[in-house]
Amino acid sequence: MTTTRENGSLYNKIENGIGIIEFGHPASNSFPGVLLERLEKAICEYSDNSDVKVIILKSEGEKAFCAGASFDELMAVETMQQGKVFFSGFANVLNAMRNCKKLIVGRIQGKTVGGGVGLIAACDYAMATEAASIKLSELSIGIGPFVIAPAIERKIGVAGLGELTLAAHEWKTAYWAKDKGLYARVFENIEDLDKEITIFTEKLASYNPQALLEMKRVLWKGTENWTTILMENAAISGELVLSDFTRNALSKFKK
């Protein structure tokens, strides 16, 4: 079952030291601003919760993992400030994931677009199914994946980011993503994915919490300037979304 709530849903639970965060939205698990705020808050709460050793980030259903930011909210942007606020939603979540004291394991069961690819890249470890293709389509509507670009570049390099971004209409397979380093492992189906997620996270949760924290710090070394950079990039996107090119491109999607 998937949520029918207009603003989406977010469920948290702790099992055997593993904090599970599950988000959902009727529009292919996309993110309106309020849901991004809830996700950011949930990550921060688990970061400081001593009962949580490891975090699993997952989404509802068996189809799309995440369709990125809310398209309806994107089309409603009318000022540069509104644009910056809109794009800063993912910036805040990525920074929360970066600063989180717990390792985050992504469970990617299906296709992912735009900001959702940034979420995957900000996970410390991600496993997926063969159905988990990815796409960055931002250039096709006159903007770019500027907010999430640092996270993606960190995982798959400049060349991978360029290939993914410039082929804006092209889906990249789960095995492409694995070869580039975005996914650690790819499974044939969700059942196999979930079995391995459980085994892997239970092992992680049994390790020395201080060692896990120090490893998290090592993995994210050199990203201390993201607090500033991601917000600056949100402002770039916020300006571009008001361009004639983008307004014309978006108008084609209006009902």
Query: SS3 letters for 149-172?
Result: HHHHHHHHHHHHHHHHHHCCCCCE
| pTM metric for this prediction | 0.96
CB atoms within 10 A of CB 26: 15
What integer pLDDT is reported at residue 1 of this predicted model? 56
Instruction: Decide the pairing of beta strands 18-24 and 9-15.
Output: antiparallel
pLDDT tens, 4-19? 888 899 999 999 999 9
Give the pLDDT confidence score for residue 254 in this predicted structure: 64
- The stretch 217-246 carries a mean pLDDT of 95
Q: Does the pLDDT at position 255 exceed 80?
A: no
